Amino acid sequence: MNILILGGGGREHSLAWAVVQNPKCDRLIVAPGNAGIAQIADCAALDIEDGSAVVDFAQAHSIDFVIIGPEAPLAAGVADRLSEAGFLVFGPSAAAAKLEASKAFTKEICAAANAPTAAYGHFSDAASAKAYVQAQGAPIVIKADGLAAGKGVIIAETLAEAEAAIDDMFAGAFGGAGAEVVIEEFMTGEEASFFVLCDGTDVLPIGTAQDHKRVGEGDTGPNTGGMGAYSPAPVLTDAIAQKALERIIKPTMAEMARRGTPYKGVLYAGLMIEDGEPRLVEYNCRFGDPECQVLMMRLGAQAFDLMHACAEDRLAGVRVNWADDHALTVVLAAKGYPGAYEKGTVIRGLRDFSDDSFQMMFHAGTTESGGQITATGGRVLNATARGATLQQARDRAYAQAESVDWPDGFYRSDIGWRAL
């Protein structure tokens, strides 16, 4: 098969790594890709949010199957355009991707599906939003309704902070994403991520993970896209996962199907777990980054068969071949991230370690020029490893991270602390 993956981050490098190991893959193209992906697949420049451009590209390259990595092309309807043109695609329609693209929509679906989640209000003007927070008290969570690159959530410790956040959002701090605001009860507990595939009818769990969102050691400092992750998440026991499946995920999928917008693709449920009970924090309509890297490390080549079965509505007959293993990834980021950082700094030592089925350096923001690998993003590399225990996976991942010669980069030294 000729396969096209859309995206160019660490998530897409790990997807590409799993796909090329599968004998069904004859040719893999990744658009736009990065310097690491270029070592295992062809990379192509393409505007991946432009549905007609993607369809033209897929036709010109005789593509049999398209895997969409990030949320922006999904929200822009690229999966719809590809399906209409007759291509097999892994990734939900724009209507189904609203589960990530609109927080108010998700809350409404949860209410209809009776899925446990935080109590909420939904507002399109500041005065009624402020009246609601006055009535509820602090702490309270203020969210821009739309996609805000992971930045549209403010946990307000005081009423003054909540009101300031409301003013900021309606003043356009998050652009169009903040034209409507969702205000939620602050939930306590431990967070974990649950990944399932859905083909519109059946749901297949493919793994759990936990990430570290804060930039600093001990989970302190500003939020990032994620500084590291590990799988499985010990807090998400089989019993709690089963509850999440039966009470949250399956009812949501049934409600989406009932509305005529069945969900097909990977669904990433962010859960808050307290006293053995899971509640939904949010849905994402894609793999997490860096959570995908640890899931792919554990699933290997079968990840391709699972995504292919999902796209062909064949999940009912599919089993995941689980190994009793653990994976962990450490993100190497440019100094300054998530604030301003320098671009174009040179990374050395990357070719010195062996990549195999137990360890892999996934690239995110890298470019190759003149035989050198340079950093061109905030999150740049993912030192990822698998082991019989989490400790073994962690030791291998950190050995990789330490061997990179990149004075302009940094990483957290405590990824996995909660689980170890």
Q: Cβ distance 264 to 198 under 8 Å? A: yes
Nearer to ligand AMP by C-beta: 209 or 347?
A: 209
Q: DSSP code of 222? A: E
Contact partner at residue 281 from ligand GLY, ligand AMP, none, CB < 5 to 8 Å by partner kind: ligand AMP
Nearest approach, Cβ of residue 151 and ligand GLY (Å): 11
CA-to-CA distance for 341 and 336, rounded, in angstroms?
Answer: 5
Contact partner at residue 282 from ligand GLY, ligand AMP, none, CB < 5 to 8 Å by partner kind: ligand AMP
Using rule CB under 6 A, residue 226 touches ligand GLY: yes
Q: Which residues bind to ligand AMP, rule: CB under 6 A?
A: 118, 141, 153, 155, 184-187, 191, 270, 281-282
Using CB under 6 A, which of 145, 199, 291, 408 touches ligand GLY?
Answer: 291
Angular region, 124: left φ>0, alpha ψ -120 to 50, beta rest:
alpha
Contact partner at residue 211 from ligand GLY, ligand AMP, none, CB < 5 to 8 Å by partner kind: ligand GLY
3-class DSSP state of 161: helix
Contact partner at residue 153 from ligand GLY, ligand AMP, none, CB < 5 to 8 Å by partner kind: ligand AMP
Size of the site for ligand GLY (CB under 6 A): 8
CA-to-CA distance for 348 and 161, rounded, in angstroms?
Answer: 44
Nearer to ligand AMP by C-beta: 113 or 271?
A: 271
CA-to-CA distance for 337 and 394, rounded, in angstroms?
Answer: 23
Using CB under 6 A, which of 145, 199, 202, 289 touches ligand GLY?
Answer: 289
Binding string to ligand GLY for residues 245 to 284, with x set by CB under 6 A, is what? ---------------------------------------x
Nearest approach, Cβ of residue 165 and ligand AMP (Å): 13
Contact partner at residue 285 from ligand GLY, ligand AMP, none, CB < 5 to 8 Å by partner kind: none
Q: Cβ distance 66 to 90 under 8 Å? A: yes
Using rule CB under 6 A, residue 211 touches ligand GLY: yes
Nearest approach, Cβ of residue 228 and ligand AMP (Å): 15
Nearer to ligand AMP by C-beta: 186 or 353?
A: 186
Nearest approach, Cβ of residue 155 and ligand AMP (Å): 6
By the criterion CB under 6 A, which residues form the site for ligand GLY?
Answer: 150, 211, 225-226, 284, 288-289, 291
